[in-house]
């Protein structure tokens, strides 16, 4: 436990040491109104009254059982078999804290070992670690690994990578004074020609997302070839559900594969918590962040599980640590492990197929409506797609009207991509029924009917003018 000074003399010695005249001066950076604020707490409540209070408070929340949601963009609503919650709540996995004592943590360690194995099978790479915070930090850690390995100080990232992932990446690279170069997009995917023109021998890694933020499928093999020709690593950020159908990153030459395992048995919650995954080729294993769970035998020859290759600063000398990634999201990694084990290979393929078919059905139905279109033509996509709205209808106003009909619409893209301010990103997972998709299409049709018909008025006026 950290030392806390108790006596007045000890406090004074501490203040002198850090060069602060008083305890009050230590907290002057906090506004006075906050330092002197008193919490407005209600009077005492009985247990029954307290339960009623929180029921009323909780009733203000709106959840996905009440609303028909088509929002994705990194947080996805998938069906979760009841076995996931049932097994994840067992006593063997009661704590999600780091299993420092292997003799008391065999259940947790085995889960992490199996999680790593499943990630390797999904990504087609050699080694995976025992989970990361989320997909965004996993991507940033992958860039740091590439810089360490290549000893180059430039990273290229496609503009089609999730904008919030790119923001986290920029934050991680800023203290290193590493250059972050964005590769432009063309019709919803990475501009391969621009990448080829701009890459040089100073680039440590090229980062792509597959499927990308718009749901479109990238030309991964072409991007991989361009990166490796210059000696750069290829980092692929992938949706694990899509790997039931799409080629794994290892097949198209990715050196590092990362992503978010939230779709694997973890609810959307309120946008978190999440769990990331991180896999590499064997040559990069000793430069990975976090820790790895390994299998061994004990003194009696029985199979046992331990932590191994712990390259974090709490375990080794700080100057040799690869990362300060600490909490390893055990509980969410456990849910992902149970989920994948329950589905199996065939189940994951069927699940991915459902996502593909239902999203294409929805996109075709929406684009058949007057005024609705897609800015990316017939680009292949997985379970997310971009829709351009009719003139006179903004994404925010559309979402407000959909919400009143019990529907959560897509993500307005103007915040991240000004050129797409009239467009939205919709997501359709296996959880959406045909009736729910049709209800969205019907609502879009009804809402768009209420738009002003200025063009038709001008047309009738022009006809009258010609007759006169």
CA pseudo-torsion sign 93, 88, 75, 155: positive
Residue 244 pLDDT > 60? yes
In sequence order, the 6+-apart residues with CB closer than 8 A to the CB of 126 are 120, 279, 280, 281, 282, 285
Q: Is the pLDDT of residue 131 over 80?
A: no
Do residues 80 and 88 touch, judged by C-beta distance below 8 A? no
| DSSP string computed for 349-399 | HHHHHHHHHHHHHHHHHHHTSTT-B-TTTT--BSSEEEEEPPTT--HHHHH
What DSSP character marks residue 40? -
- The greatest distance separating any two alpha carbons of the chain, rounded to the nearest whole angstrom, comes to 103
Average pLDDT over residues 290-317: 81
Strand partners, 427: 384
Query: Is a pLDDT exceeding 50 seen at residue 463?
Result: no
Over the stretch 188-207, which tens digit does the pLDDT of each residue have? 999 999 999 999 999 999 99
Instruction: List alpha helices for 62-162, DSSP H.
Output: 82-88, 106-123, 135-150
Q: What does the alpha-carbon distance between residue 410 and residue 398 come to, in Å, rounded to a whole number? A: 9
Please give the pLDDT value at position 324: 67
Neighbours of 371 (CB within 10 A): 15
Domains and CATH numbers, the chain: 82-340 (3.40.640.10), 344-449 (3.90.1150.10)
> Mean of the per-residue pLDDT values for the chain?
90
Q: Does the pLDDT at position 462 exceed 90?
A: no
pLDDT tens profile 47-92: 999 999 999 999 998 889 899 999 999 999 999 999 999 999 887 7
**For the residues 209-236, what does the mean pLDDT come to?**
98
Please report which residue ranges of 156-302 form alpha helices under DSSP H.
163-173, 192-198, 220-229
CA distance 392 to 414: 15
Span 216-224, average pLDDT: 98
Supply the pLDDT for residue 45.
Answer: 92
CB atoms within 10 A of CB 209: 27
pLDDT of residue 158: 98
What lies within 8 Å, CB to CB, of 452 at 6+ separation is 392
Give the model's pLDDT for residue 92: 75
For residue 93, name the pLDDT band (cuts at 50, 70, 90).
Answer: confident
* Both structure tokens of 387: 């829709």
pLDDT band at 9 (very low <50, low <70, confident <90, very high): confident
Quickly state the pLDDT bin for 32 (edges 50, 70, 90). confident
| Percentage with pLDDT > 90 across the chain | 70
Pairing of strands 384-388, 423-427: antiparallel
- Residue 450 in this model has a pLDDT that exceeds 80: no
461 has pLDDT over 50: no
**Range 415-433 average pLDDT:** 97
| 94's tokens | 């009661």
Average pLDDT over residues 216-243: 98
Identify the band that residue 125 occupies on the pLDDT scale cut at 50, 70 and 90. very high
Q: Is the bond preceding 188 in cis, omega lying within 30 degrees of 0? A: no
Q: In this predicted structure, which of 25-39, 63-77, 318-332 has the lowest mean pLDDT?
A: 318-332
Q: What's the length of the chain?
A: 468
Encode pLDDT of 342-392 as tens digits: 999 999 999 999 999 999 999 999 999 999 999 999 999 999 999 999 999
Per-residue pLDDT at 460 exceeds 60: no
Are the beta carbons of 106 and 295 closer than 8 angstroms? no
Instruction: State the pLDDT at residue 466.
Output: 38
Using the predicted structure, report yes or no on whether residue 464 has a pLDDT greater than 50: no
**pLDDT value at 409 more than 50:** yes
- How many whole angstroms separate alpha carbon 174 and alpha carbon 320? 20
């Amino acid at each position: 436990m950290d030392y806390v000074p108790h006596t007045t003399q000890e406090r004074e010695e501490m203040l002198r040491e850090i060069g602060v005249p008083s305890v009050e001066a230590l907290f002057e950076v906090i506004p006075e109104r906050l330092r002197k604020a008193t919490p407005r707490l209600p009077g005492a409540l009985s247990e029954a009254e307290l339960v009623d209070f929180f029921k009323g408070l909780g009733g203000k929340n709106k959840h996905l059982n009440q609303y028909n949601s088509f929002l994705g963009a990194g947080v996805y609503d998938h069906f979760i078999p009841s076995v996931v919650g049932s097994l994840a709540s067992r006593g063997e996995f009661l704590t999600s804290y780091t299993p420092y004592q292997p003799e008391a943590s065999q259940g947790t360690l085995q889960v992490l070992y199996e999680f790593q194995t499943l990630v390797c099978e999904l990504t087609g790479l050699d080694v995976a670690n025992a989970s990361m915070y989320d997909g965004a930090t996993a991507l940033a850690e992958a860039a740091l690994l590439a810089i360490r390995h290549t000893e180059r100080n430039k990273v290229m990232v496609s503009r089609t990578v999730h904008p919030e992932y790119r923001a986290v990446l920029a934050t991680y690279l800023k203290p290193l004074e590493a250059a972050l170069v964005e590769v432009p997009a063309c019709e919803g995917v990475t501009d391969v020609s621009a990448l080829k023109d701009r890459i040089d021998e100073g680039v440590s890694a090229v980062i792509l997302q597959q499927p990308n933020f718009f749901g479109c499928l990238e030309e991964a093999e072409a991007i991989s070839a361009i990166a490796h020709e210059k000696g750069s690593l290829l980092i692929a950020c992938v949706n694990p559900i899509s790997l039931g159908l799409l080629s794994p990153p290892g097949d198209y030459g990715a050196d590092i594969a990362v992503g978010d395992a939230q779709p694997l048995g973890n609810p959307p919650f309120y946008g978190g918590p999440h769990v990331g995954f991180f896999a590499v080729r064997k040559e990069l294993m000793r430069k990975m962040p976090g820790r790895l769970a390994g299998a061994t035998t004990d003194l009696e020859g029985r199979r046992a599980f331990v932590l191994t290759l712990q390259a974090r600063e709490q375990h080794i000398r700080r100057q040799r640590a690869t990362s300060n990634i600490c909490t390893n999201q055990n509980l969410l990694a456990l849910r992902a492990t149970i989920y994948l084990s329950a589905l199996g290979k065939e189940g994951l393929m069927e699940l991915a197929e459902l996502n593909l078919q239902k999203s294409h059905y929805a996109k075709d139905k929406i684009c058949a409506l007057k005024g609705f279109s897609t800015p990316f033509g017939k680009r292949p996509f997985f379970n997310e797609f971009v829709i351009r709205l009719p003139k006179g209808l903004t994404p925010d106003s559309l979402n407000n009207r959909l919400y009143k009909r019990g529907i959560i619409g897509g993500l307005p893209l103007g915040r991240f991509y000004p050129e797409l301010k009239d467009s939205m990103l919709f997501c359709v997972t296996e959880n959406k029924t045909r009736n729910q998709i049709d209800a969205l299409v019907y609502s879009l049709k009804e809402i768009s009917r209420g738009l002003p018909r200025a063009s038709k008025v001008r047309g009738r006026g022009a006809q009258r003018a010609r007759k006169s």
